[in-house]
Amino acid sequence: MTQTDLVRSELEPLVETIDVKTHFKTPRGIARAVDGVSIQIRRGQSLGVVGESGSGKTVLSRSIMGLLPRNGVIREGSVRYRGQEIGNCSDKEMQSIWGREMAMIFQDPMTSLNPVMKVGKQISESLRKNLGMSANEALAVAEKLLHDVRIPEPARRLNQYPHELSGGMRQRVMIAIAMACGPNMLFADEPTTALDVTVQAQILELLSEQKRDRNMSLLLVTHNLGVVAGYTDEIAVMYGGKVVEKAPTKTLFANTKMPYTEALLSSIPRLDQPSHSRLTTIPGRPPDLVNPPKGCRFAPRCAYVRDLCLNEEPELEQADSPDHTYRCFYPVGSPEYFERRVELTRKGELVASEGSN
Amino acid sequence: MSNTSVTAAPEDIVVPKKLGFGFWLCVIWVGLMAFIAIFASVLPLKSPTANFLNSAQGRPPYAPSWSHWFGTDKDARDVFSRSMYGARISLTVGFTAITAGFLIGGTLGVISGYYKGWIDRISSFGFIVLLSFPSLVLAILLTSLIDRNLLTVSLVLGLLSIAPVGRLARAATLQYADREFVLAARQIGATNRRIIIKEILPNVAIPMSSLALLGMAVAVVAEGGLAFLGFSVQKGITWGGLIQLGSDASKTLQNAPWIAFFPILMLFLTVLSLNFAGDRLRTFFDVKETTL
Amino acid sequence: MVAVACGGDDSSSSNSSPTETAAPTDSGAPATDAPAEETPVTGGTLRVGLEADVDGLNPTASALAVAGLTMASAVFDPLFTFDVDGNAVPYLAESIEPSADFMVWTMKLRAGVVFHDGTPLTTDAVIKQFEITRNDPLVGLAVKPYYPETDAVVKIDDLTMEFHPKEANQYFPTALTAQLGYIASPTWLDALVADPTLEQQPVGTGPFQFDSRTEDSVTKFVRNDNWWGTDIIGPTYLDAIEFYPVTDPDTRTEMIQNDELDILHTTDTNQFQTYRDDPTLVTSIDDNGEEYFLMINTAKAPFDDIRVRKALALATDRQGYYDLFNSGEGRMADQMFTPDSPYFNADVTQEGNDPEGAAALVAEYCGENPVDDAGVAQCTDGKVNMEYQWSGPSVLATRIADFYNENWKASFNVTFDEKSQADNIQEAALGIYNVVGWRQFGAENPGDDRVWLECRNIGGISLNWPRFCDEARDALIMEIANPASPDERVGSIQKLVQNLHDSYAYVFMTHSSWAIVSTDKVHGNCDRKSPEGNALVCSINGRMFFQSTWLSS
Amino acid sequence: MRYYVQRVALAILLLLAVSMLTFGALNILGDPLFNILGPVAGDVNNPDSIKMIALAKKEFSLDRSLPVRYFIWLSDFVRGDFGVTFSSTGQPPVSGVISERLPRTISLVFLAQMFAVLVSIPWAIIAAARAGKISDRISTINAFFLVAMPNFAIAVILKFVFSLKLGWTPITYMADDPLRSRLFQLLLPALTIGLPVAAVYQRLLRTDLITTLQQDFILLARTKGLSKTRILFVHALRPSLFSFITVVGLNTGALIGGSIVAETVFRIPGIGSTLVESIFRNDFPVVLAIVMIVASAFVVINLLVDFAYTLIDPRVRR
């Protein structure tokens, strides 16, 4: 690889999806879990995908990695890895990518680790498969990995079973497994949700640090904007299978466009708030993926909804900066937005969303 | 979590609950058999015991023909009508056995599940003891001790079903014994008998009853096995007995397979129907697999 | 002559009861037809398929059935044996002389005969055996009634003795042709008292001696190289005989066809055709032996009434039975003799196939609302209550039971009573039965069938199974034992046949057939000779002899 | 450790109960004296017979009370002396009969179990891997049919097809044949017992495998880039084996029951057929011995199954 290649490979996206659609056949009909999502992640970059349950964030990550079952699933659009189309690879072809190129961390380490297999083996097996190491080499490496993820007395852990470890340690083990073959792309699916608050931060620390050291790209799936805030370069907010706002983290927080994003933000616990204060939860339920509402999918729950929203679906709009896009007719900051705010405040309905009393 | 449920493989997609065509087909077959079993004597069937010797055809067994649809056995007896009459003992035994098993085993199970304590320990141990004989061995042992008629054989097989049924009933009862509504009933000072009958039984009965068909299938097979070995009802026609008659001597089986195979067919279809229907019912009420 | 509990179904297969073995009958047709030019070769092991195994081979105590007698005939020698003309000729005995009144028989043994254990054959040996046998509660039954308590056998010298039977009997020697005549080593008999398990290892004077035995698997005898008969009678060719008890007739057939057996015997008529069709097998069939019949307990209600017995006979479809269960083999029986026999009584035919007649008799009987001693009613809704019992479970036995039930159900309420083989014989012997299928008679000397017929044989255990006592019959039997002339004897025997028929204690069904089947490698069964050179029968009611048998390679 | 002790104690308690029941029940069977003495046993007015009866009663200790006899029997039994058969000579000793015939039954049951397990596991794995596809549907139906087919019916069919029509296998068992041909003769009997059981196993394992394959850790395994086969065999199989193993254990009983039928149909002199014959002969020392051996085997196997758990599932280690 020449310098320039290297530079280019730095610039051009490592993973890119173009209008990816993932639909499930259900008895009730077609569920549009992911409905035309285009994202890009460059080498060493991290993208946070944020949304409520059922927003399609998990499905998106799995679609990219090609982990979804073959039958009963309709896939469209293209997924590119290093510029090559991998969207239509068979499981067999993906095997060469899984582990070595891409890896994934799951939400619940208890259910995601094989309960009847020793930790050491669970880590080493992918080393042996992908890097063709011998059993002993692999174990040695595994021990090192455990050490890297800060597990005390790694040597002993190798011969323990998952149920003998604490929740945090299990998650570290899973990270070790993911790291094992030095993947370029790491998917972390709600890596901290199942853990208690004290450990969450540590794990996220560990993740971003590993990412840095290994110059990995990271796709961090979570329902909690607060989580991604500190750890991602860019954030894509998903709702009802679509990306509704995408921007570099700072921009997103500073200059929120999408009312949904605003709502999410307002549901992050903030230190500058009196602890007794009540958090806003967004009224209503996420949209039905089988027959989604006509028009803007968030409209039914949107405080600033207008007729247009209910009838027409908004396209992706450019915000001030080119890397900031959103789907909304009346984004935060628009005249209509303020107009409606005033009404609401008068009715006193916005108190909650202001989070003050 | 809801996310993963979306990514599920097809099996996971909830199939709307219905019993389905196959189920009714099986029910019809079993019903037909039952009907024949009950009304065999009034139906226009040949006598199952008469020897239809026919010098023109030479020495029996006679192959299936228009006059004998399933052919005749070595004694020139009509295999068709014998197969029909065979349903009698086989089904009666199967039915009586499982009924007895459910009455006794069920009661024991519910009581020990409800009262727990020493009653539970004793009956549970009894169940284990019963279960530590391989059932056929126990069946042979017992039937060899008794004068084998319809009732006694049924009871023996009933006894065999006590343990599995009992354990099941016990397990089911345990689930409910500490439920709110039971505790509530206690609060308002309802007697145990009342609680068992009014609160527990209805809840236990449904899943149990869905296993009755499976149990009956087992009993029918067991009876067949006993008859096949010569341990079933002495003076009577049973499928197992017919099969034994047709297969005892290699020559008979080789030259006149119909003697054994038609009864086998009847037995098979009946057991299959009972199993299938039972299985459907079980999934319908989604009850756990049983050791019956 | 020794009688043993017996019975079962004519062609009974796997569960056939031990076959009756009272006495020999006509010789079967030659079991093999060795071409004259072939010269016997010494060597080889003969593998024999028997229909059953034996508890033991002790002539003084074991109930020897066909299988037992076949084995016994190889290790033991009889004092007398039958020649092809049916006369009892001396074998182990050298000679026997009756007194003028036939009350005393002086018998001389052959000199220099030794048992396999080296004990010499002497008068004492014979007497010891006689006394032990007579005192056996079972085997003794057929001996006791015919001898005085004391001095039944008197020693004259080491080789000479006198028999003192209770009554005169011109045909006395035939009594010494079977179990009572098989002389066992006295040393061994003594040893038996201490260790009964030695019954498994018989010691006699025979052409073969015990080698090894695994119960229910195989019993092996090897040639007795210093057999007394080698010079006078002829050499024993076989190195060894292996007896395999194979209760299932089908299996026996397969084994001989797969060359796992050289010779077998069977009563399963279903197999006969198979044997005939197999070119490599030599088959001889003989139906002049026993008869199969329904035996009725005349001492127990309802069958203590002759009308009911007759009704049962009339209700029975004998032709149907023959068609179904004899596979067209053998003959239907009207009496204890086949038409081939000089004693056949042409006037006697067994009634049957007459349901109406049966119904009439039953109606008459039930009209009297009879009750037994215990006051139990013998009829229910116009039908006689009865029990038919058989030894099972056996598919064939059950088929037969079903068949009879079909015959009888118009006039009888038949209860099925399937017994274990032991219990079946039990209850027959002790008279705890109504009707049972049985196989018996066909003694070479008809006089020897008396044990089944005389009043004196009714008791705790009755050899007179039907427990039917008739002085007239006993008188006839005495005439048969001491006829004024051979013709008179024939006459008396035919009268006896009539008497049996009139008692309605038996419903004769078929003359049961024994088939002896061997591969074409087996020769010389029928070349047996007596020391005096008389040709001897080569099979008696399925009993086989192998002294003269040889195998061609 | 305590756990093991408890389980063993329970097992022993069980066997005691079983032996008492059986012993008691069998004494209701016909008077064993008949088997020993023949008709003489019933000939109670003849002094000679009476002598013999008394003798036999003593020899077989039938003159003692039931409990006493039970304890005599028990103490002998645990010492491996199973008493003597009720025949006129009391020969052969029961242990002789057993030691001659038990191996055949064991090898039969073992073959059948092997067959069932070896067939059902791959069968289930393939079915589970193709879950929902046509091939899976078909195999499920086949399994259902097999389960509904009583083993005596299977025996008859196998015998008809393979022994009688095709003549591939002999229909009788020759105790004296060389091992290889004897094993060959055990083939059909083993199938007779094994086939339906295999179907039972397959149905069970298939369902469990499918549930396991839904688990997250399977997904994780996939993201490691492991091959499908490795995932099925290494990751999915073992966690799915728990109930499978229990059922395999429990089914040993069914197999032994089946061996009675198979041995009868294919005429194998094993303890199954011996049990039947001995019952017909009222030869109850043999019956008792066989029932006890069978029950013990049954109990012990289930004990082992419980212990096997602790081996395959680290979570229940104590």
SS3 per residue for C225-289? CCCCHHHHCCCCCCCEEEEEECCCHHHHHHHHHCCCCCEEEECCHHHHHHHHHCCCEEEEEECCC
Q: Give the list of residues 6+ apart from residue C396 with CB closer than 8 angstroms, or none.
A: C9, C11, C12, C13, C15, C325
Strands A13-26 and A73-81, sheet pairing: antiparallel
Backbone torsion region of residue B117, taken as left when φ is above 0, otherwise alpha when ψ lies between -120 and 50, otherwise beta: left
Q: How far apart are CA B240 and CA C450, in angstroms?
A: 45
Q: How many residues are given for chain D?
A: 318
Q: How far apart are CA B64 and CA B78, in angstroms?
A: 9
Q: How far apart are CA A251 and CA A234, in angstroms?
A: 9
User: In chain B, which residue's Cα lies nearest the Cα of D264?
Assistant: B229
Contact D267 C460 (CB under 8 A): no
Q: How far apart are CA B277 and CA A249, in angstroms?
A: 60
Q: Which of D10, D160, D252 to mutate to test the interface with B (most CBs of B within 10 A)?
A: D160
CA distances D267 to B144, D100, D128, D186, Å, are 21, 15, 38, 10
Residues from chain B that touch A54, judged by Cβ atoms under 8 A, are 2-3, 6
Minimum-distance CB partner of A53 among B3, B7, B9: B3
Q: Which long-range contacts (CB under 8 A, 24 or more apart) does D132-139 make?
A: D132/A71, D132/B9, D132/B10, D132/B11, D136/D206, D139/D202
Contact C217 D175 (CB under 8 A): yes
Strands C379-380 and C383-391, sheet pairing: antiparallel
Q: How far apart are CA A235 and CA A153, in angstroms?
A: 37
Whole-structure pTM value? 0.82
Q: How far apart are CA D217 and CA A113, in angstroms?
A: 5
Q: How far apart are CA B217 and CA B214, in angstroms?
A: 5
Minimum-distance CB partner of D216 among A96, A112, A161: A112
Average pLDDT over every residue of B165-187:
84
Listed by number, the residues of chain D in 1-60 with a beta carbon closer than 8 Å to a beta carbon of chain B are 10, 13-15, 17-18, 21-22, 25-26, 28-29
Would you give the distance in Å from CA A141 to the centre of its chain? 28
- Residue pair A318/A324 in contact (Cβ under 8 Å)? The answer is yes
Tokens encoding C538: 């080569």
Higher per-residue pLDDT: B200 or C240: C240
Q: Give the list of residues 6+ apart from residue A107 with CB closer than 8 angstroms, or none.
A: A189, A190, A191, A193, A194, B1, D216
Upper half-sphere CA count for residue C504 (Cβ side, 13 Å): 18
Residues from chain D that touch A86, judged by Cβ atoms under 8 A, are none
Look at residue A218 in the predicted model and tell me its pLDDT: 92
Residue C437 bridge partners (DSSP): C294
Contact B253 D132 (CB under 8 A): no
Q: Which of A88-97, C498-507, D109-118, D170-179 has the lowest mean pLDDT?
A: D170-179
DSSP secondary structure code for residue C17 in this structure = P
Residue B270: band (very low, low, confident or very high) from pLDDT cuts 50, 70, 90:
very high
For each of chain C's 553 residues, which pLDDT tens digit applies?
333 433 333 333 333 333 333 333 344 444 444 444 578 999 999 999 998 888 788 999 888 888 999 999 999 999 999 998 888 999 999 999 999 999 999 999 999 999 999 999 999 999 999 999 998 888 888 899 999 998 999 999 999 999 999 999 999 999 999 888 999 999 999 998 888 778 889 999 999 999 998 777 789 999 999 999 999 999 999 999 999 988 888 888 888 988 889 999 999 888 898 899 999 999 999 888 889 999 999 999 899 999 999 999 999 999 999 988 988 888 999 999 999 999 999 999 999 999 999 999 999 999 998 888 888 999 999 999 999 998 877 888 889 999 999 999 999 999 988 887 777 887 888 899 999 999 898 888 888 999 999 999 998 889 999 999 999 999 999 999 999 999 999 999 999 999 999 999 999 999 999 999 999 999 998 889 999 999 998 888 899 999 999 998 7
Q: How far apart are CA C393 and CA B230, in angstroms?
A: 6
Phi, psi of C372 (to 5 degrees): -85, -175
Look at residue C322 in the predicted model and tell me its pLDDT: 92
CA distances D190 to D5, D160, D185, D281, Å, are 35, 15, 9, 27
Q: How far apart are CA C25 and CA C69, in angstroms?
A: 14
- Residue pair C544/C525 in contact (Cβ under 8 Å)? The answer is yes
Q: Render C462-497 in DSSP notation, one character per residue.
A: -SSTT----HHHHHHHHHHHS-SSHHHHHHHHHHHH
Phi, psi of C417 (to 5 degrees): -140, 85
Upper half-sphere CA count for residue B81 (Cβ side, 13 Å): 20
Torsion of CA D43, D46, D50, D51, to 10 degrees: -140
Q: How far apart are CA D91 and CA C86, in angstroms?
A: 38
- Residue pair A220/A49 in contact (Cβ under 8 Å)? The answer is yes
Q: Do chains A and C touch (3 or more CB pairs under 8 A)?
A: no
Place of tokens 């908004």: A314
Q: Is B292 a residue whose pLDDT tops 50?
A: no
| Helix/strand/coil (H/E/C) assignment for every residue in A29-77 | EEEEEEEEEEEEEECCCEEEEECCCCCCHHHHHHHHHCCCCCCCEEEEE
Contact C426 D44 (CB under 8 A): no
Residue C285 bridge partners (DSSP): C515
DSSP-based three-state secondary structure for A217: strand
Q: How far apart are CA A52 and CA A300, in angstroms?
A: 15
Q: How far apart are CA A104 and CA D218, in angstroms?
A: 12
| Amino acid sitting at position A240 | G
DSSP-based three-state secondary structure for B160: helix
Q: How far apart are CA C56 and CA D129, in angstroms?
A: 63
- Residue pair A91/A173 in contact (Cβ under 8 Å)? The answer is no
Q: How far apart are CA B280 and CA B22, in angstroms?
A: 9
Asked if the interface predicted TM-score (ipTM) of this complex is over 0.85, the answer is no
Neighbours of chain A (3+ CB pairs under 8 A): B, D
Neighbours of chain C (3+ CB pairs under 8 A): B, D
- Residue pair C348/C503 in contact (Cβ under 8 Å)? The answer is no
Look at residue C283 in the predicted model and tell me its pLDDT: 93
Residue C380 bridge partners (DSSP): C383
Look at residue C473 in the predicted model and tell me its pLDDT: 95
CA distances A149 to A98, A167, A207, A212, Å, are 21, 14, 9, 14
DSSP secondary structure code for residue D163 in this structure = I
Strands C506-511 and C240-245, sheet pairing: unpaired
- Residue pair B48/B82 in contact (Cβ under 8 Å)? The answer is yes
Strand order in the sheet with C160-163: C93-98, C105-109, C160-163, C153-157
Orientation angle between helical segments B150-177 and B79-101, nearest 10 degrees: 40
Within 10 Å of residue A272's Cβ, how many Cβ atoms? 5
Contact C392 B230 (CB under 8 A): yes
Higher per-residue pLDDT: C476 or A71: C476
Within 10 Å of residue C95's Cβ, how many Cβ atoms? 12
Q: Kindly report, residue by residue over A179-220, the tens digit of the pLDDT.
A: 888 899 999 988 888 777 778 888 888 888 888 888 899 999
Contact D214 B272 (CB under 8 A): no
Q: How far apart are CA C219 and CA C47, in angstroms?
A: 10
Look at residue B103 in the predicted model and tell me its pLDDT: 92
Tokens encoding C391: 């030894």
Within 10 Å of residue C225's Cβ, how many Cβ atoms? 9
Q: Kindly report, residue by residue over D84-141, the tens digit of the pLDDT.
A: 777 655 566 788 888 888 998 999 999 999 999 999 999 999 999 888 788 888 888 8
Strands A185-189 and A102-105, sheet pairing: parallel
| Amino acid sitting at position C187 | T
In 3-state terms, chain C is what percent helix, strand and coil (to 5)? Answer: 30, 20, 45
Contact D171 C200 (CB under 8 A): no
Look at residue A349 in the predicted model and tell me its pLDDT: 62
Torsion of CA C186, C190, C195, C197, to 10 degrees: 20
CA distance D284 to chain B (A): 11
Q: Give the list of residues 6+ apart from residue C268 with CB closer than 8 angstroms, or none.
A: C11, C12, C13, C249
Contact C324 B235 (CB under 8 A): no
